[in-house]
């Protein structure tokens, strides 16, 4: 199976590290022009630097995905550069503080929802019209195993990822006959800096022991690498997945197999 994105344009949010960086570099390596969007100037510039060092067409744009003007701006920049958006990796997210619901501040709850749900919503709102006007496109939202199961002290994050899956299914139905597909990936534990931060807070100091126990509970015995999640996202964006839409695809080493 060969995937070639030459001549196609992609936007990746949350491209400053982790899964976002992996998928941005992966798309660019397959020939796509990539707009790497992130709030972090340092992270986004590093992704751009790595791609350009490999001779890839990748450009960083700073944006806050909770601000509609910023979302409209990154969509406008991509269409200015490449004339269209063929692939949209709607990936930016934040876990929020690790705390029980009873002690969670409303401010923190609203911030988690603004990034994880509002950012996905605004991305869909502004990218889908570009794709439907061209009669083609593929969107991959980053959901989570947390779209299906709960984790203590991650209530707002869990709620937000349930919402991402709902938006994915609804958007897919709305554009299914307009040449556009919308799917989500639902990763289990992924070896990223964000998960390191979550586990450190959950463990109260002994994150290594927590990771050992979690790793032991995964059927294939390990966390995913960001590149493995990126590979699934790239497949879903490719023509090989042309009959797949409205789905939340698990990638978790067999965890919660049903």
Contact 133, 83 (CB under 8 A): no
SS (H, E, C) 156-192: HHHHHHHHHHHHHHHHHHHHHHHCEEEEEEEECCECC
Tokens at residue 3, please?
Answer: 């995937």
What is the separation of C-alpha 153 from the centre of its chain, rounded to a whole number of angstroms?
22
Catalytic residue among 74, 157, 223, 235: 157
* Residue count (the chain): 258
Contact 47, 12 (CB under 8 A): no
Is residue 157 flagged as an active site residue? yes
DSSP assignment, residue 145? G
**Rounded Cα distance, 235 and 220, in Å:** 22
Active site residues: 157
């Amino acid at each position: 199976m060969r995937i070639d994105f030459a001549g196609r344009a992609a936007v990746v949010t949350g491209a400053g590290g982790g899964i976002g960086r992996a998928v941005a570099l992966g798309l660019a390596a397959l020939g796509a022009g990539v707009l790497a969007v992130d709030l972090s100037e340092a992270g986004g510039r590093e992704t751009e630097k790595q791609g350009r060092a490999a001779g890839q067409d990748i450009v960083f744009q700073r944006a806050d995905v909770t601000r509609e003007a910023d979302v409209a701006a990154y969509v406008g920049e991509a269409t200015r550069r490449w004339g269209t958006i063929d692939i949209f990796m709607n990936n930016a997210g934040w876990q929020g503080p690790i705390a029980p619901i009873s002690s969670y501040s409303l401010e923190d709850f609203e911030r988690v929802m603004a990034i994880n749900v509002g950012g996905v919503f605004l991305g869909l709102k502004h990218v889908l019209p570009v794709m439907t006007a061209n009669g083609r496109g593929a969107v991959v939202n980053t959901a989570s195993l947390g779209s299906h199961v709960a984790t203590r002290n991650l209530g707002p994050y869990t709620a937000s990822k349930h919402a991402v899956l709902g938006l994915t299914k609804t958007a897919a139905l709305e554009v299914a006959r307009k040449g556009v597909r919308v799917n989500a990936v639902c990763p289990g534990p992924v070896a990223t800096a964000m998960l390191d931060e979550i586990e450190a807070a959950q463990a109260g100091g002994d994150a290594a022991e927590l990771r050992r126990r979690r790793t032991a509970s995964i059927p294939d015995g390990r966390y995913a690498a960001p590149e493995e999640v990126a590979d699934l996202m790239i497949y879903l964006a490719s023509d090989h997945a042309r009959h797949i839409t409205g789905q939340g695809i698990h990638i978790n080493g067999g965890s919660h197999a049903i």
